[in-house]
Amino acid sequence: MPTARVIVTKEIDYRQTVERFSNGYRFNLPTIDEATIRTLALALRDWERPMHAGSVRFVYLNGGRDAPGAQSVYVEEFENPLVGGSSAVNVHPETVIMAESKRRQRVYARKFFHTLNAQAQDSSTPERLSQQAIDFFNGRLATLTDGSLPDGARYCWPDGTALAEPFTLDPYLRVRQFDRRGKRPTQAPPQG
């Protein structure tokens, strides 16, 4: 089966500018055409929304064959983007949660989510998520590998092999910086 790549791009307001970030997903699909990729991309967007705060906007979807130089068969930028479906908490935008599926030692698939709603609940270990949050995210992550996405899509490795182990959430918050890409000021503007 051919391997498809779908990318869900989100944006937030950060440091007096708009910051875009994305998550890419790789699946084995029976066909890679515009209708199939569009259906899967919209399902992934709707799947991600409950994990993100309302200040996260889902602005762009694209996908196509996962091959060097391959063109996207589906691209859509939303004029009125949908937003995340959960309440925001006072957390730095570069605080992320990480999900991982291991194939063997030092070979793993990882996903990082800038959710803007992940907050530690345990005062004895302030960087650890609550068990309720861990269970919520693990429940959502199971969808990537259980075949319940459109066309029975299951997340796969670059070689096209389906993941044998589902993604599971690392219970600790992490920091993952946005790429600077020359667009954000490195210091405050001059006062005066």
* 43-81 pLDDT per residue, tens: 999 999 998 888 899 999 999 998 888 899 999 999 999
Chain segment 78-91, per-residue pLDDT in tens = 999 999 888 767 67
Mean model confidence pLDDT for the chain: 86
CA distance 97 to 93: 11
The C-alpha angle with vertex 20 and arms to 16 and 9, in degrees rounded to 5, equals 150
Predicted confidence at residue 39, as pLDDT, reads 96
Of 139, 122, 136, 135, the closest CA to residue 173 belongs to: 122
Predicted confidence at residue 54, as pLDDT, reads 87
The backbone torsions φ and ψ at residue 51, rounded to the nearest 5 degrees and listed phi first, read -85, -10
CA distance 82 to 48: 11
* DSSP classification of residue 177: P
Predicted confidence at residue 128, as pLDDT, reads 86
Predicted confidence at residue 104, as pLDDT, reads 81
What is the pLDDT confidence band of residue 180, given thresholds at 50, 70 and 90?
low
Domains of the chain: which residue ranges?
3-175
Chain segment 137-167, per-residue pLDDT in tens = 999 999 999 999 999 999 999 888 999 899 9
Burial 8-28 (b: 16+ CB within 10 A, else e): bbbbbebeeeebbbeeebbbb
